[in-house]
Structure 1
Amino acid sequence: MAPPQLVANYERLKAAFGSPHADQKSIGQLLLQLKIALTEARLLIPGSNSSLEDLVITRDVLEMGAFWSVRNKDIPAFDRYFSQLQTFYLDFRSQLPPSPREYPLIGLNLIRLLTQNRIGDFHTTLETLPPNILGENPFIQHPVHLERWLMEGSYNKVWQEREAAPSEEYKFFVDSLMETIRREIASCEEKAYDSLPLSDAMNLLFFTKPSDLMIFAQERGWNVDPTTQAIHFARKAEETIEIPKEKIIINSLAYAKELEQIV
């Protein structure tokens, strides 16, 4: 049975987590205290003798911690929380009541895998889900659509899907995904064009504010001409490739002589 102080802090965490005006720093401190208490009570790695109540409390704490990590843009912390939750989602699924946070968190993890270009892990995760969840659950459909449009190169649809995100936390990962897409588009622009009008660059890179484009251009080392309202791409000097003509001729003659001897 979980200690009374652990249960009391758990109730405080639930109240703070559900408040729209909650102090994120206070939530972080509560999470730290609870993780220490759960470790001391040997509930973070539960055993067969753990009570149902204790399992539910531990799962809830880890789920709230995962959401808190995304809200604070702490991806390593999200990874740790989600990894710890796998025991509860897989090993104790038959013993625990369904959690309303499970599929929202799985969906968030799927988008995280997309941002890291871990397409194999993305599809492996999908294969573990029930078929009806794939077709009906909006939290899973969202990353599935994103992956499909990424493979098609329909980046405008990825951008539009941001506004259709099933929760605010999803927008953070979609923004991270857009950053990856922008870098890929920018590399193509640098090779394809000498310059582009600022308005065209904004559209191609899915920026809504000129100031964001200016920051991005500075990071890429692009030259912005305020007079012509154009971006000039900095090109690297083309490397000169020397072809060893004499060596090729000598080798060709040697091969010809060997062929003559064989014949």
Structure 2
Amino acid sequence: MTDPKALINNLSAALQASDITSGKSALNQLKIWMLEISLQDSPAESISLAATALELGALLSAADDDLDAFARNISQLKPYYDALSASTILVKTERKCHVLGLNLMHLLVDNRLSEFHAELELLSEEEAGTPFVSFPITLERQLMVGSYDEVLNAGRSVPDPSYNFFMENLMETVRDSIADCVEVTYKSLKLTDAVTMMKLESVEELQEYVQDKRDDWLVEGDMLTFQPPPVGSKAADIPSMKLISQSLSYATELERIV
């Protein structure tokens, strides 16, 4: 007979030890056990154990850098939270605010802002005030007003190491936004200044970024030159002779058919 408490202890220990393989094995066994319980008829203790297992599963997915698995665990977790909220016995899981905060980070990284705000509406004032949840709320506000420096600096003060994976993805998105602004503001820029603006560690890291994502930027000596973005076609750019030739060909073909 499955002992969910023992499996949860195994899962928690595997997570602490960064043993992803053992953690996944324990989580899979717990999910098989969950198939045997009913959200409507099971006691609150069983529902709480299932929620705890899925919370640990979400943290395990974050440690494994697996966004898809993280989203699945969150989706499976929500009905258990709803069942606990509807229970006549007040039961709180230990990691709820932690997981809710990570889910907000996930939505922020994916730019799913309508879902982000929908999730905020479901939070109690107490939950929203915890460091786990207030951190992504502050980040979202900074992004909305374009305080990219503050967002990038926030990566040094995450409430828990599990947030680092989401921050890395978010910082990549922010750097892309900064890059978009820089290339329309300057014709050229010193490499060292660009490194500072984009909060990169070195000129070499900037050059890697240019090679991977901005192949229209030119590195010339110690300067970075930006190619002007297309602003629309001019009359001289229209292939008029080609269009005329195509029109005459269509007219001839139509006359032949008739």
TM range (shorter): 0.7 to 0.9
- Aligned partner of 1:178 in structure 2 is 171
In the alignment, which of 149, 153, 176 is matched to residue 156 of structure 1? 149
In structure 1, distance between residues paired with 2:133 and 2:111? 18
* Cα RMSD for the two superposed structures: 2.3
Q: 1:172 to 1:14 in 2, by over 3 A?
A: closer
Q: 1:9 to 1:100 in 2, by over 3 A?
A: closer
- Aligned partner of 1:141 in structure 2 is 134
Structure 1 stretches of 5 or more lacking a match?
245-263
Checking the alignment, whether the CA contact within 8 Å between 1:69 and 1:77 is kept in structure 2 is yes
In structure 2, distance between residues paired with 1:177 and 1:206? 13
Alignment of 1:100-249 (within 5 A): 100-134=94-128, 136-219=129-212, 220-221=214-215, 222-225=217-220, 228-235=221-228, 239-242=232-235
- Aligned partner of 2:11 in structure 1 is 13
- Aligned partner of 2:249 in structure 1 is none
In structure 2, distance between residues paired with 1:5 and 1:132? 33
SS of 2:102's equivalent? helix
In structure 2, distance between residues paired with 1:155 and 1:58? 39
Q: 1:215 to 1:11 in 2, by over 3 A?
A: same
User: TM-score, normalised to structure 2's length?
Assistant: 0.81
Q: What's the CA shift string for 1:205-252, capped at 9, x where partnerless?
A: 111233322211101113323xx32222344566433399xxxxxxxx
- Aligned partner of 1:88 in structure 2 is 80
Q: What's the CA shift string for 1:89-108, capped at 9, x where partnerless?
A: 22322345211210111111
- Aligned partner of 2:241 in structure 1 is none
Paired amino acid for 2:211: Q
SS of 1:231's equivalent? strand
Tell me whether 181-190 or 235-244 shows the greater mean CA deviation: 235-244
Percent sequence identity over matched residues? 34
In structure 2, distance between residues paired with 1:96 and 1:202? 52
Structure 2 stretches of 5 or more lacking a match?
239-258
In structure 1, distance between residues paired with 2:10 and 2:126? 36
Q: 1:211 to 1:32 in 2, by over 3 A?
A: farther
1:60 matches 2:52 = yes
SS of 1:4's equivalent? coil
Paired amino acid for 1:84: Q
In structure 2, distance between residues paired with 1:191 and 1:158? 21
- Aligned partner of 2:244 in structure 1 is none
Q: 1:92 to 1:118 in 2, by over 3 A?
A: same
User: TM-score, normalised to structure 1's length?
Assistant: 0.80
Checking the alignment, whether the CA contact within 8 Å between 1:55 and 1:96 is kept in structure 2 is no
In structure 2, distance between residues paired with 1:140 and 1:5? 32
- Aligned partner of 1:251 in structure 2 is none
